[in-house]
Amino acid sequence: MSLFITFEGIEGCGKTTQINLLAAFLKKKECPFLLTREPGGTKIGEKIRQILLSSDHAGMEPMTELFLYVADRIQHYRQVIAPALRDGKTVICDRFADATTVYQGFGRGLDLAWIEGVHARALENIKPDLTFLLDLPVEVGLKRAWKRLEKDKTEEDRFEKEALDFHRRIRDGYLTLARNEPGRIIVLDGMKEEGALHREIVSHLPCSLQG
Ligand SMILES: Nc1ncnc2c1ncn2[C@@H]1O[C@H](COP(=O)(O)OP(=O)(O)OP(=O)(O)O)[C@@H](O)[C@H]1O
Ligand SMILES: [Mg+2]
């Protein structure tokens, strides 16, 4: 059985940490899965990622940002995600369309219904089966994110450089989406320790994956 799982949340909330723990879990259970991320996940997407996340590109127009994310997602969905789901794999993706609704909608102020319309046209409104939203105060997430950026020596920091107020809109935006779709989006307390969060995530998987 194929399942499309996404992880969402503000910078530094623990997405990559939990995705790696889930991947190790599925590997041990010998469940076929694919791990991927946005922006990126394809050759074209990794180039779009560099444009989107580099702080050399401060001052990018919100609409430019939106269309770059959507362009990345079309390529990613058609080239990587859909074929893997057709092969019966579980797909775990680090951010997906909810991130665009929240960052470019709640964050940048673009019209939410209009963004929804773009997704409907570009991606037939594809939704993940299950989304884990790791929620925590923005001050905590950003502190963690900056520490990781320093450690990884990456310059993918355009969003981390946004004001606190921007990140608060992102957190609130995600919580609004979760209230609208409680069946799909599971909100987890990102302040809990890694192992406890992982066990909670596993408990929400269908029985066929829990093994
Ligand atoms: N539950 C946790 N408790 C404390 N620290 C954590 C927890 N989960 C992750 N961390 C630490 O916080 C930092 C950020 O975690 P991680 O990279 O998983 O977050 P992320 O959501 O993927 O961030 P980004 O949005 O920047 O990709 C890492 O140094 C990680 O070790
Ligand atoms: Mg990450």
Distance 50 CA to ligand 2 centre (A): 15
Distance 120 CA to ligand 2 centre (A): 26
Site to substitute for ligand 1 among 16, 134, 135, most atoms within 8 A of C-beta: 16
Q: Per-residue pLDDT for 1 more than 80?
A: no
pLDDT in the model for residue 207: 84
Range of the domain at 171: 3-210
Instruction: State the total domains in the chain.
Output: 1
pLDDT digits (tens, 9 = 90+) for 162-181: 999 999 999 999 999 999 99
Q: How far is CA 76 from the centre of its chain?
A: 13
Atom of ligand 1 nearest to the CA of 7: 21
Atom of ligand 1 nearest to the CA of 190: 1
Cα distances from 51 to residues 58, 161, 172, in angstroms, run 10, 15, 26
pLDDT in the model for residue 112: 97
DSSP 8-state secondary structure symbol assigned to residue 22:
H
Q: Residue 142's domain is classified under what CATH number?
A: 3.40.50.300
